[in-house]
Amino acid sequence: MQKSAASKETQWWEKGVIYQIYPRSFSDSNADGIGDLEGVIRKLDYLNDGSEQSLGIDAIWLNPIFPSPMADFGYDISDYCNIHPFFGDLDVFGRLVAAAHQRNIRVILDFVPNHTSDLHAWFVESRSGRKNPKRDWYIWRDAKSDGSLPNNWGSAFGGPAWEWDAVSAQYYLHTFLKEQPDLNWRNPQVKKAMLDVLRFWLERGVDGFRMDVVGMILKDPELRDNPELKNDLDPASPDGPYYRQLHVHDQDLEEVHELIRDFRILLDEYPERCGIGEVWYELPRWIKYYGSRGDELHLPFNFRLMKAPWNARAIRESVDEMERTLPDFAWPNYVLNNHDSPRLVSRVGDEQARVAAMLLLTLRGTPTLYCGEELGMENGVISQDQMQDPQGFRLGAQYNRDLSRTPMQWTDGPNAGFSSGQPWLPVTPSYQIKNVATEDRDPTSMLNLYRSLIRLRKQRTALQSGSYTSVAVESSDCFVFERSQNGEQYLIALNFSYKHQTLKIPGLMEGKLLLSTYLDNFEVFGKNTLDLRANEGVIIEIKHNYVTRQDG
Ligand code: NOJ
Ligand code: CA
């Protein structure tokens, strides 16, 4: 069935909540210290058992679960059409899809098109000699006549993007680790093989893909040097050529959109399949990944809230700009945490993380949660000898992604209930307070806040698909907006400060408090005023005579 981009019907990826599972750290069923698919199956009821007590999410996205030497924890794939034995096998995967679908949970897989593992059979063949038929499946180049590298491109993990192969006496390109050679998408056989990979999983009932660094898959055919950044160098950015260049020739080329349109055509051959992309560019470049007619990705991930300073003004500007810029066919989305970035709660604190939860789950746009976010899980504490992440080793401990990859905290018992073996990363010290079992019993816990927010979003369609209007208020510490649809109207007021705030909002006495981040029923109304306690967010149902003051 072909879905038109302009379809008015609300799709599951528009109204639902996506939950990112880092499978290695979610739940270990066989005591080897590594999470697995059987573990995920056991926790599906926690995610959504159909009752109001469970978290109530609508889709899971699994980070890569395919055979891999794990140089980059699964983003170095050696077989796209199988499951790593750590995680299970194709049968367990089939059971997971069936069990998820039974609970109305969609399953999204990670698709890693830019690079394979250097141990993938394709690369093993490719590097075996210049005459090999798969030679051109990767990007090989001679050294320059003076023996230097083919161009100035850098690896995102530090150092040059070129690795010398002594046997065939050429360099190959790797935008990430040297164990992750870049595929040559200009070769039609590569494109066909990779589209077959998508088809393989679509046939197994997968509901969508999150496409890893999808804007990077095409490179300048002449491999021209990138211009060097001069004055705009960010002093906080890591070392290495990648971080000192403008990426005009090694990624985000115009032609990449043709390829993404082809991914979309394939997805659209199947009903209700969704394409999500990891796309980091600035807004004008980023927005192109929806396609000029909504014919590319359904959701290029929007990471802007992760990068914005945590204050009402910056967050509001980011949202307003998004709302202003998106064309009608493009559905927004928001992300606060993922497996590549430190946890938001460690940046903004426990109190503001509750405000963040309300923001994420009331904005117009699909929310993606990262496992443990709903518990207020903090950054791990990782000593040098416990470090696992190749990026941490190469760019420095401040870029160590292990911080957000520590085991999911299920109980206050040994290893936080994640595993009865030795977990691959240490459990974060606050697990005795921040865990599912303890938070389940506390009616005002972070977990119960996420559950309440998701439940409310489900019950009130205006919170899913209603329009968004920014509401002007005097206090620069508060962000207030309205969601409305078919006569349903909600006011969301978020206090980003540690101070009590009184906001003037005409006509508000007709409102009804639906939810406070404090999870109590504190009286908030004056005649035309709204009182917010320190770090409080509220959702108010508005009655007819409320006057919206739009922000010019
Ligand atoms: C982005 C992924 O999210 C990250 O974890 C990975 O290291 C790189 N892409 C390379 O695949
Ligand atoms: Ca295991």
Q: Which ligand neighbours the alpha carbon of 155 most closely?
A: 1
**pLDDT, position 8:** 65
DSSP H or E segment with residue 366: strand 366-370
pLDDT per position as a tens digit, 483-523 = 999 999 999 999 999 999 999 987 676 788 999 999 997 76
**pLDDT, position 74:** 98
**378, 409 Cβ separation under 8 angstroms:** no
Instruction: Quote the ligand 1 centre to 75 CA distance (angstroms).
Output: 6
**pLDDT, position 6:** 39
**Which of 374, 372, 288 minimizes the C-alpha distance to 24?**
372
User: What are the residues whose beta carbons fall under 8 Å from the beta carbon of 375, sequence distance 6 or more?
Assistant: 409, 434, 435, 436, 439, 446, 447
Instruction: Quote the ligand 2 centre to 42 CA distance (angstroms).
Output: 12
Determine which residue's CA is closest to atom 6 belonging to ligand 1.
75
pLDDT per position as a tens digit, 1-18 = 333 333 468 999 999 999
CA distance 107 to 207: 5
Instruction: Quote the ligand 1 centre to 73 CA distance (angstroms).
Output: 9
**pLDDT, position 528:** 82
Establish whether residue 72 lines the binding site of ligand 1, counting it when its CB lies within 6 angstroms of any ligand atom: yes
**Which of 465, 355, 479 minimizes the C-alpha distance to 13?**
465
**pLDDT, position 546:** 53
Distance of alpha carbon 544 from the chain centroid? 37
Determine which residue's CA is closest to atom 10 belonging to ligand 1.
75
**Whole-Å CA distances, 69 to 90, 105, 314:** 18, 30, 41
Question: Which residue has 């035309």 as its token pair?
Answer: 528
Q: Which ligand neighbours the alpha carbon of 86 most closely?
A: 2
Q: Which ligand neighbours the alpha carbon of 423 most closely?
A: 2
**pLDDT, position 212:** 98
Instruction: Quote the ligand 1 centre to 389 CA distance (angstroms).
Output: 11
Is 212 an annotated catalytic residue?
A: yes
**pLDDT, position 120:** 99
User: What are the residues whose beta carbons fall under 8 Å from the beta carbon of 141, sequence distance 6 or more?
Assistant: 150, 162, 170, 171, 172, 173, 223
Is 14 an annotated catalytic residue?
A: no
**pLDDT, position 551:** 41
Residue 354 backbone phi and psi in degrees, to 5: -70, -40
Residue 413 CB neighbours (<10 A): 13
The ranges of the chain with pLDDT < 50 are 1-7, 549-552
Establish whether residue 75 lines the binding site of ligand 1, counting it when its CB lies within 6 angstroms of any ligand atom: yes
Could you say which of 58, 76, 212, 373 is catalytic?
212
CA distance 223 to 471: 49
Could you say which of 52, 269, 321, 510 is catalytic?
269
CA distance 311 to 321: 16
